A and B are shown apart, each in its own frame.
Chain A
Amino acid sequence: MRCAGRTVAQTTLAVMLSMVASMSLADGISTSVSGYGTVGGTFTSDGNYAYFHNETEFNGASNSFDVGLDSRIGVQAVVSFDSQWSVTAQELAKLRGNSKFDPATEWLFAQYQPDSDLKLRLGRVVLPVFLLSDTINVGYAAPWFNAPNDVYYAVPYEYLDGGQVLWQHSLGPFQLGLEGTYGETDATLELAGTQVIAKSKSTFDVAVSLSWRNLLVRYAETRLNSATTVLESATTTLSLAVHDRFHCAGLQYDDGKALLMSEWIKRDEDNLVGFNKPFAEDTGWYVAAGWHFGKFTPLASYSVLNITSSIVQSAARYGSWGASLRYDVVRNVDLKLQVNRAQAGDSAYWVVANPSSNERVNVYSFGADFVF
């Protein structure tokens, strides 16, 4: 995939438009439009610490209630030309980088589905590293307000421009799923006040999942090959080639009453040439358990981040607690409250972590999710 990211998206759009133009409405084209959103915010118990979801958010939410960080709205259109060919487009407006509330394309792909098991996609897809990566912005689909940071902060890339193959097959009571994604992506992040531009080429992700009734297990391997540019000052830049390998195992059980979710991820890297250390390496996991009491779903979680000594961090281990409550107001609107108790040194939580402090800081979030 030699063309730039935007070019792939534009090509897909052009293909979509030409397909629309070449087919008349009488051919049975169907369009379905839907959307999702979240209105809510976050604040922390200590003004020295600003919470973020990952390093693509530069300012974070501190001890005054911030609605920018968690509010977002997405709209999706699926145009089906027949039972095999379709185009899916999803635009999402949310805060990106330095306090800009920007719309951007999350998904834009043409899909060919030769039979009910196989889907071939070309265009932009969300990079599905973790169990819930592909719906991380769809608050209504999740039991919590914010997914556990100790796992979900680790990948700054959201999408991939390239191709994707999805295969799902029923084997008696089991459902087997295979997923392969290949392409390129980029992201702008900030590490302790320093801007970093990362572009990953030849990125790929393979995942296998198996579900049986209410139980789902998934394992995914992701390779990122990031040309990383650290903007040290207006005139000095440092260029690094970072090769990340993500190994992720996830489990989800939901029988309509009990809810159990857990993920374990490990990021390892080759040592950087000339440094004899990786750029960033860590292991994270969480366990979350909840119960559906009618319209209420309380959930408790515990997550851990184990950091290996690297260029950007010293070795450390952090643990954080979380509790959330979901209330389903009506069929397509929920209200959520969440409290997380995280350590001041945990870089998965804070824009500027303080590794020398053992202090615990609370993160309070509340808001409403909706789908339409």
Chain B
Amino acid sequence: MHRRIKSLCLSLALGLMLAGPALAGELVVVMGPGAGPITKDQLADVYLGRSNTLKPLDLPESNGLRDQFYKRVTDRDAAQVKALWSRIIFTGQGQPPKELPDAAAVKKAVAADPRMVGYMDKSDADASVKVVLSLH
């Protein structure tokens, strides 16, 4: 029993250490190389399904950056965002942002389509994409 608690504490600590840099990092919003800047309000409209001007991309639910992104851009947590999208999905109005496995896949997608927009840790953004907004 004692051992089990100890290993649980260890894995928790390890988990926090791994999650730590991601939580403290700077999030950036990226689009294809020719894109202009975007405001937080425009981005919120796109990611909450209110505007269809751009095609939003998401990271997996298991990625801590995703909740951070929504909190900073829309001031909503995951359940609130899901409730909003439920209205759009179950009226046949649209599908939620396409989910891609990681930053590399997001970079590839936005570089290929000027209407796509994604987010990632600042350290993952490179010359293949343009940072259109930094979220501190």
A135 and B78 alpha carbons, distance in the complex (Å) = 20
| Neighbouring A residues of B77 by C-beta, 8 Å | 294-295, 328
Stretch of A168-176, A197-205, A262-270, A299-307 contacting B (4+ beta carbons < 8 Å): A168-176
Counting chain A CB atoms within 10 Å of each CB, the highest count among B61, B79, B84 belongs to B79
The residue on A at minimum CB distance from B83 is A141
A36 and B50 alpha carbons, distance in the complex (Å) = 21
Stretch of B16-24, B29-37, B85-93, B125-133 contacting A (4+ beta carbons < 8 Å): B85-93
Q: Which of A135, A140, A175 contacts B45 (CB 8 A)?
A: A175
Q: A141-B84, A175-B50, A292-B80 are in contact. List 7 more A-B contacts (CB 8 A).
A: A34-B90, A138-B86, A138-B90, A256-B80, A295-B77, A332-B82, A371-B82
- A185: CB under 8 A from chain B? no
Offer 30 A-B interface pairs, CB within 8 angstroms, sorted by A. A32-B95, A34-B89, A36-B86, A76-B89, A78-B92, A78-B95, A90-B90, A109-B92, A117-B52, A135-B87, A135-B90, A138-B90, A140-B82, A140-B86, A141-B83, A142-B83, A168-B52, A170-B45, A170-B53, A256-B75, A257-B75, A294-B77, A295-B77, A328-B79, A328-B80, A331-B78, A331-B82, A332-B79, A332-B82, A334-B79
Closest Cβ of chain A to B131, distance in Å, is 22
**A36 close to B52 (CB less than 8 A):** no
**B86 close to A135 (CB less than 8 A):** yes
- A148: CB under 8 A from chain B? no
A111 and B93 alpha carbons, distance in the complex (Å) = 10
**A213 close to B75 (CB less than 8 A):** no
| Neighbouring B residues of A32 by C-beta, 8 Å | 95
Give the residues from 63 to 106 in chain B that come closer than 8 angstroms, CB to CB, to chain A. 74-80, 82-84, 86-87, 89-93, 95
**A140 close to B83 (CB less than 8 A):** yes
- A82: CB under 8 A from chain B? no
Closest Cβ of chain B to A238, distance in Å, is 37
| Neighbouring A residues of B82 by C-beta, 8 Å | 140, 331-332, 371
Contact with B along A16-36 (1 / 0, CB 8 A): 000000000000000010101
**A126 close to B50 (CB less than 8 A):** no
Interface residue count for B (Cβ, 8 Å)? 27
A255 and B74 alpha carbons, distance in the complex (Å) = 8
Closest Cβ of chain B to A138, distance in Å, is 5
Q: Which 10 A-B pairs have the closest CB atoms?
A: A256-B75, A328-B79, A88-B92, A141-B86, A256-B76, A141-B87, A134-B91, A116-B52, A331-B78, A138-B90
- A211: CB under 8 A from chain B? yes
| Neighbouring B residues of A107 by C-beta, 8 Å | 91-92
The residue on A at minimum CB distance from B71 is A256
**A36 close to B90 (CB less than 8 A):** yes
A119 and B44 alpha carbons, distance in the complex (Å) = 23
A107 and B90 alpha carbons, distance in the complex (Å) = 9
- A278: CB under 8 A from chain B? no
Closest Cβ of chain B to A228, distance in Å, is 28
| Neighbouring A residues of B75 by C-beta, 8 Å | 255-257
| Neighbouring B residues of A292 by C-beta, 8 Å | 80
The residue on B at minimum CB distance from A137 is B90
- A74: CB under 8 A from chain B? yes
The residue on B at minimum CB distance from A371 is B86
Q: Which of B45, B78, B87, B90 contacts A76 (CB 8 A)?
A: B90
The residue on B at minimum CB distance from A108 is B92
A277 and B7 alpha carbons, distance in the complex (Å) = 77
Contact with B along A225-263 (1 / 0, CB 8 A): 000000000000000000000000000000111000000
**B86 close to A256 (CB less than 8 A):** no
Closest Cβ of chain B to A362, distance in Å, is 27
Give the residues from 124 to 165 in chain A that come closer than 8 angstroms, CB to CB, to chain B. 125-126, 134-135, 138, 140-142
